[in-house]
């Protein structure tokens, strides 16, 4: 499956549009990560636990989006966008959406 965040795919032509596909996940951070974060906030540096949390959420949301695209019989998803939003304090949603299309290599 070809996935891009551009409207077109270089070297390919969009022959059919299957529709909007989306995937989301709401994830909570755990206390261990908070403790690590409170230490890191004294000396600065990357919060690896939170980065991992974002990466996991993004993978999950993308997987759900791609599953939808597959169901529609698409072989590519273009113009993919990601947004995050706070649900409660302690949990955030990561939402991925894009347009499922069928592409063919351009002659």
Partner 1 sequence: MEEDFIFTAIQLLVSVGPLVLCGLIIGRTVEKQHFRRLDAFDAQCQDFLITQLKSFPMSVAGESAPSLVVTEVVIASDYLKSWFAKWRNLFGGELRSFQTLQIRAKREAMHRLIKSAMEQGYNAICNVRIESADVGGGTAQRKTPMAAVIATATAYHAGQDS
Q: Which residues are at the interface with partner 1 (CB under 8 A)?
A: 2-12, 28-29, 33, 37-38, 40-47, 50-51, 53-55, 58, 62, 80-92, 94
Q: Minimum CB separation from partner 1 for residue 22, in Å?
A: 15
Q: Which residues of 14-32 are buried (b: 16+ CB within 10 A; e: fewer)?
A: beeebeebebbbebeeeee
Crossing angle of helices 48-71 and 31-43, in 10° steps, is 130
Q: Minimum CB separation from partner 1 for residue 1, in Å?
A: 10
Q: Which is nearer to partner 1, 5 or 71 (CB)?
A: 5
């Amino acid at each position: 499956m070809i996935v891009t965040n551009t409207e077109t795919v270089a070297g390919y032509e969009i022959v059919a549009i299957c529709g909007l596909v989306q995937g989301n996940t709401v994830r909570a951070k755990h206390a261990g990560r908070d403790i690590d974060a409170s230490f890191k906030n004294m000396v600065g540096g990357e919060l690896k636990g939170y980065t991992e949390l974002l990466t996991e959420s993004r993978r999950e949301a993308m997987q759900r989006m791609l599953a939808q695209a597959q169901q529609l019989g698409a072989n590519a998803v273009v113009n993919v966008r990601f947004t995050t939003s706070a649900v409660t304090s302690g949990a955030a949603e990561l939402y991925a959406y894009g347009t499922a299309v069928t592409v063919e290599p351009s002659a």
